Structure 1
Amino acid sequence: MNQHTDRWDDTVLPFQLDRADIRGRVARMDETLEKILSQHDYPAPVAALVAEAVLLTGLIGQTIDLRWKLSLQIRGDGPIRLIATDYFGPTKEGRPARLRAYAGFDENRLAEGEGQTPFEMVGKGMFAILIDQGQGTTPYQGITPLAGGSLASCAETYFAQSEQLATQFALAMGVAAEPGGEEQWRAGGVMLQHMPKASPFAKKEATGEEGLLAASDMLDGDDEENWVRATTLLETVEETELIGPHVSPDQLLLRLFHEETPRVYEAQPVEFGCTCGPEKVIQSMSIYSAKDIGHMTNDDGRVTADCQFCGAHYEFDPKTLGFEAEK
């Protein structure tokens, strides 16, 4: 992969369209996404949904403060039951943010979804964003029903319904390879969001699916005109521009929005990262009695735990776990 491409791999680039009062981000996920998906042997529909969720999480998470955590959870009653992602804000300025993800699915039911899109295989359920600001704070949680034909549509509905912010995404993801190179997952996307007003509120009746608010319900007058112009330009983006190696994010912004004079900020690097560890398993087990721990002990006399995100395996002496643990 050439040096020009490497510069933008696994980054989220914030930008602003001052003329239209719109902010946005451009994301490229390459090694990060490949590492997340290589932890598991997901069937193709599951892997595609995880890739979309990771890309959305990187685009949305870039705005949180240092050391905060933003999570996406998608739960449904279909063969694909759960998609969960975490974005950990950098520990300090200049450090990468970390991303991880996993999926829960019923392999026996996946055949039921033949002919359906991966999103349709989630079924009816909910889309949630959670923000954890750290110890001593109450996590924020916003939930909307699954609506539209993709996770990106769900995220747009979430921002309209929960935040009253007009938002639009253009995403692309898939397995690709440069000539002579190995195939690996690549993803890229652009997020546009109208700048929040002092007192945001919907100015029209809800026009979205199932009576939910849509982006267009947030705006009128010049704001609506500017939003329509910017989103119409965004809809001209091509998949090869989002994930291909030949167009950098800043070049893409100039191609799409040159008349809006985009203002670009410093890119945020991202990487795969999991925060699991033996101490967290011990802490999670601290609510159980010795009798409870006994029921979790295997035939070898050990208590085991596996991280759903990264696959790490932990083993413990049962006497060291629970609130009756030997010190």
Structure 2
Amino acid sequence: MTPLQPAVAPADCRTRFIFDNMPVRGLHVRLENVWQHIVGQKHYPAAIRRALGELLAAGALLSSNLKIDGTLIVQVQGQGRLKMLVVEATSEQTVRATARWNEDAALGDDESLAALLGDNSVFVLTLQPKDADPWQGVVPLEGGSIAQMLINYMKRSEQLDTHIVLSADDQACGGLLVQRLPEETLDADAWEHVSTLAQTVTAGELTALDAQHILYRLFHETPPRVFEPETIEFACTCSRGKVSDMLLMLGGEEVGGVVAEQGSIAVDCDFCHAKYVFDETDVNALFGADVVNAVREEAQRVQ
């Protein structure tokens, strides 16, 4: 690997690398167009926008290990002003993300994640295969940042030395992960050297530079083998069919009641803000019965 002149970083790429002289692998991700599309969906306060961008970069990093067709869902849940951050990353190299928070509460631009989440916050990792039952792990949130939370989780669940650095600003989000290969012996001093170098990457470098520039800057003395980058895209998996399934789960009485009162029922997607509207004809067809009129007649009967 040779030094390169500063260049515009490619947008929306995930790059794998491995050290041939030691059992350490790594990943770099930088998302620009994808990130700007996500934050353009709603007005996120600065502190929540930063945390969501870091979690998005983390989800793109962790999903690289998906060995089956499916989706990795990474969530942070709290009971404070920030209720949830959620990222979904698929084996088809697509991502989506959103956050829920108390929109009436005051939020400082530099507030910590722990302060926003409040007590009893948890980290939830869900693997949803396309053709099998999901697997889910839930652990208490340990660490004051998304990166430290994930480092602690990886250490506890996989017993693998892992170092993660994450960053997000208004333009892009990025992340760097280095990890000891499983079932391989690694000298403690060698791991300390690699992880210490990884820690020197700055927030600005992660959001502005491509993998080649960052890896040269960090590891030019022992350059890793770098693989072809993978393109990450935004894609939402919402559909009218999925909303229909949700309405069926709510039941004819509840859905029919809303339509009887309001004339229709509308559901917005949290991720892409597509709106799905079901009127009286749609709802009755969905349930295979005149559930709206049944609710009206019941209301008249009890009056």
Task: Check whether TM > 0.5.
Answer: yes
Listed one character per residue, the Cα deviations across residues 66-125 of structure 1 (whole Å, up to 9, x for unaligned) are 6310011100111101101101221xxxxxx111111111123335x6873244211231
Q: 2:248 is matched by which residue type in structure 1?
A: S
Gap regions ≥5 residues in structure 1: 91-96, 176-184, 199-220
Query: Which residue number corresponds to residue 127 of structure 1?
Result: 123
Contact map agreement 1:9 1:29 (CA 8 A) in 2: yes
Query: Which residue number corresponds to residue 176 of structure 2?
Result: 190
> Which stretches of structure 1, 4 residues or more, deviate above 6 A after TM superposition?
none
Query: Which residue number corresponds to residue 286 of structure 2?
Result: 321
Query: Which residue number corresponds to residue 218 of structure 1?
Result: none
Give the RMSD, CA atoms, in angstroms.
2.3
Query: Which SS does the other structure have where 2:215 is aligned?
Result: helix
Return closer, same or farther for 1:301/1:132 CA change in 2, 3 Å cut-off.
Answer: same
Are 2:238 and 1:276 equivalent residues in the alignment?
A: yes
Query: Which residue number corresponds to residue 229 of structure 1?
Result: 193
Query: Which residue number corresponds to residue 299 of structure 2?
Result: none
Larger deviation: 53-62 or 289-298?
Answer: 289-298
Report the CA distance between 1:236 and its aligned residue.
Answer: 1.9
Contact map agreement 2:30 2:210 (CA 8 A) in 1: no
Query: Which residue number corresponds to residue 5 of structure 1?
Result: 8
Q: 1:287 is matched by which residue type in structure 2?
A: M
Are 2:4 and 1:23 equivalent residues in the alignment?
A: no
Return closer, same or farther for 1:298/1:225 CA change in 2, 3 Å cut-off.
Answer: farther
Query: Which residue number corresponds to residue 264 of structure 2?
Result: 302
Q: How does 1:1-327 map to 2 (within 5 A)?
A: 5=8, 8-65=10-67, 67-90=69-92, 97-111=93-107, 116-124=111-119, 125-135=121-131, 137-175=132-170, 185-197=171-183, 222-244=186-208, 247-297=209-259, 299-316=261-278, 317-322=282-287
Q: 2:34 is matched by which residue type in structure 1?
A: T
Listed one character per residue, the Cα deviations across residues 33-91 of structure 1 (whole Å, up to 9, x for unaligned) are 0101111111111111111111111111122136310011100111101101101221x
Distance in 1 (CA, whole Å) between partners of 2:111 and 2:286 is 45
Query: Which SS does the other structure have where 1:35 is aligned?
Result: helix
Contact map agreement 1:143 1:158 (CA 8 A) in 2: no
What fraction of aligned residue pairs are identical, expressed as a percent? Answer: 28
Gap regions ≥5 residues in structure 2: 1-5, 292-303
Report the CA distance between 1:278 and its aligned residue.
Answer: 0.5
Report the CA distance between 1:241 and its aligned residue.
Answer: 2.3
Distance in 2 (CA, whole Å) between partners of 1:105 and 1:98 is 24
Contact map agreement 1:169 1:189 (CA 8 A) in 2: yes
Contact map agreement 1:146 1:154 (CA 8 A) in 2: yes
Q: Which structure is larger by alpha-carbon Rg, 1 or 2? A: 2
Distance in 2 (CA, whole Å) between partners of 1:161 and 1:323 is 50
Q: Tell me how many residue pairs correspond in the alignment.
A: 282
Q: 1:17 is matched by which residue type in structure 2?
A: F
Listed one character per residue, the Cα deviations across residues 190-209 of structure 1 (whole Å, up to 9, x for unaligned) are 111111128xxxxxxxxxxx
Q: TM-score, normalised by structure 1?
A: 0.79
Return closer, same or farther for 1:298/1:99 CA change in 2, 3 Å cut-off.
Answer: farther
Query: Which SS does the other structure have where 1:259 is aligned?
Result: coil
Q: TM-score, normalised by structure 2?
A: 0.85
Contact map agreement 2:82 2:102 (CA 8 A) in 1: yes
Query: Which SS does the other structure have where 1:15 is aligned?
Result: strand
Report the CA distance between 1:298 and its aligned residue.
Answer: 6.0
Larger deviation: 249-258 or 37-46?
Answer: 249-258
Listed one character per residue, the Cα deviations across residues 264-286 of structure 1 (whole Å, up to 9, x for unaligned) are 11211111110111111112223
Distance in 2 (CA, whole Å) between partners of 1:286 and 1:255 is 55
Report the CA distance between 1:188 and its aligned residue.
Answer: 1.8
Distance in 2 (CA, whole Å) between partners of 1:17 and 1:54 is 26
Contact map agreement 1:119 1:151 (CA 8 A) in 2: no
Q: 2:176 is matched by which residue type in structure 1?
A: V
Distance in 1 (CA, whole Å) between partners of 2:213 and 2:45 is 34
Query: Which SS does the other structure have where 1:70 is aligned?
Result: strand
